[in-house]
C-alpha cells in the first residue's frame, strides 16, 4: 500500500530507530533507504527494505525521485531520517486522501521532542513576507494545534509527505534543480497549480527536531539562498492559486 523513501546522510542510529518503527506499521509495504554517503548501518533483515548506495551525494529531490522509480504501491511517502513516531500515523493520513479526492499530498502535525509545534505548514513565501520575517514579524506559519480539524495550507514541509503515487508521477516528482531547500515548497505550489490540494491533518503528530543547518554552515546557507532565489524567480509573478 505504502512505499517509504528515507535518505540517510550519515544519520546512523536515527535511521536504525526509524526503520524499526516503520517496519511495524501494517500499511508499509516497502522501505527504500538511500545512503547518500558511505556509512555502516545495522539495517534490519527484511524483504521490505531496499538499500540504495550512491556513488556520490545527490540532492534531496534527486534521491527521492530515484526511490520513486522503485515504487509499485498506490502511495509514496517522503520521510526524513530524523523523524520519530508516537504511533502509526498512516491510517489517518490514508483516510484523508480517500475522503478528499482532490488532495494529492497530506502530512501530520510536526512537533519537537519538547512538544512545541514546528512550523511545518506555511503560507507561500513572497518578497514581502520574507521582509516581514527578517523584521521579526509574522514568519508565515499557520496557527495550528494538535487535535484540530484538517487544514489546507499553502505548503507542508518535506520531513514527512504522503503522496498518491499517481499524483507524484503526474507532477514529475521533485524538481531536481533545487539541490536542497524549497523542493517541498515548489512541489506543493505545483500541486495547487494542477488543481489539487495540500492537506495537513493535525489529528496525528510526529516528532522532528529541526537541524537548522543553514543557520550554522555557510555551505548550507548558500544552498538555501540559491533555492530561495530560484523559487522567487519562478513564482513571484506567477504565484500558485489555491482552489
For residue 88, give the CATH number of its domain: 3.90.550.10
Residue 129 falls inside a structural domain: no
Average pLDDT, stretch 195-221? 81
Cβ neighbours of residue 165 closer than 8 Å, sequence gap 6 or more:
3, 68, 71, 73, 74, 75, 76
Residue 223 falls inside a structural domain: no
In this prediction, what percent of the chain has a pLDDT beyond 90?
Answer: 76
pTM of the model: 0.93
Q: Residue 70 belongs to what domain range?
A: 2-122+141-211
Residue 53 falls inside a structural domain: yes
Residue 233 falls inside a structural domain: no
pLDDT tier at 186 (50, 70, 90 boundaries)? Answer: very high
For 216-229, how does the pLDDT look when each residue is reduced to its tens digit (9 = 90+)? 577 888 888 899 89
pLDDT, position 211: 62
Strand 75-79 vs strand 2-8: parallel, antiparallel, or unpaired? Answer: parallel
Question: For residue 46, what are the CA distances in angstroms to 19, 32, 76, 232?
Answer: 10, 12, 19, 43
Residue 217 falls inside a structural domain: no
In this prediction, what percent of the chain has a pLDDT beyond 70?
Answer: 94
Distance CA 234, CA 232 (A): 5
In this structure, of 44-48, 64-68, 216-220, the range with the lowest mean pLDDT score is 216-220
Residue 6 falls inside a structural domain: yes
Residue 226 falls inside a structural domain: no
Total structural domains within the chain: 1
Distance CA 46, CA 44 (A): 6
Q: Quick check: 58 and 36 in contact, CB under 8 A?
A: yes
Q: Quick check: 73 and 166 in contact, CB under 8 A?
A: no
Amino acid at each position: 500500500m505504502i512505499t517509504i523513501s528515507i535518505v540517510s546522510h550519515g544519520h546512523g542510529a536515527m535511521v536504525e530507530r526509524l526503520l524499526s518503527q516503520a517496519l511495524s506499521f501494517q500499511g508499509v509495504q516497502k522501505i527504500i533507504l538511500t545512503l547518500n554517503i558511505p556509512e555502516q548501518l545495522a539495517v534490519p533483515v527484511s524483504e521490505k527494505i531496499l538499500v540504495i548506495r550512491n556513488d556520490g551525494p545527490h540532492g534531496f529531490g534527486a534521491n527521492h525521485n530515484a526511490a520513486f522509480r522503485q515504487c509499485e504501491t498506490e502511495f509514496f511517502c517522503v520521510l526524513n531520517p530524523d523523524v520519530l513516531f508516537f504511533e502509526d500515523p498512516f491510517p489517518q493520513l490514508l483516510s484523508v486522501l480517500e475522503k478528499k479526492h482532490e488532495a494529492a499530498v497530506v502530512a501530520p502535525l510536526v512537533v519537537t521532542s519538547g512538544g512545541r509545534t514546528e512550523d511545518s505548514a506555511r503560507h507561500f513565501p513572497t518578497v514581502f513576507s520574507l521582509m516581514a520575517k527578517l523584521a521579526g514579524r509574522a514568519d508565515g506559519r499557520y496557527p495550528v494545534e494538535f487535535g484540530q480539524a484538517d487544514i489546507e495550507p499553502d505548503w507542508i514541509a518535506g520531513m514527512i509527505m504522503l503522496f498518491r503515487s499517481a499524483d507524484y508521477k503526474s507532477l514529475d516528482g521533485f524538481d531536481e534543480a533545487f539541490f536542497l531547500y524549497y523542493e517541498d515548497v515548489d512541489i506543493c505550489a505545483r500541486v495547487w497549480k494542477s488543481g489539487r490540494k495540500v492537506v495537513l491533518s493535525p489529528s496525528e503528530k510526529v516528532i522532528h527536531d529541526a537541524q537548522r543547518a543553514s543557520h550554522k554552515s555557510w555551505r548550507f546557507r548558500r544552498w538555501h539562498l540559491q533555492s530561495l532565489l530560484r523559487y522567487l524567480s519562478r513564482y513571484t509573478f506567477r504565484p500558485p492559486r489555491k482552489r
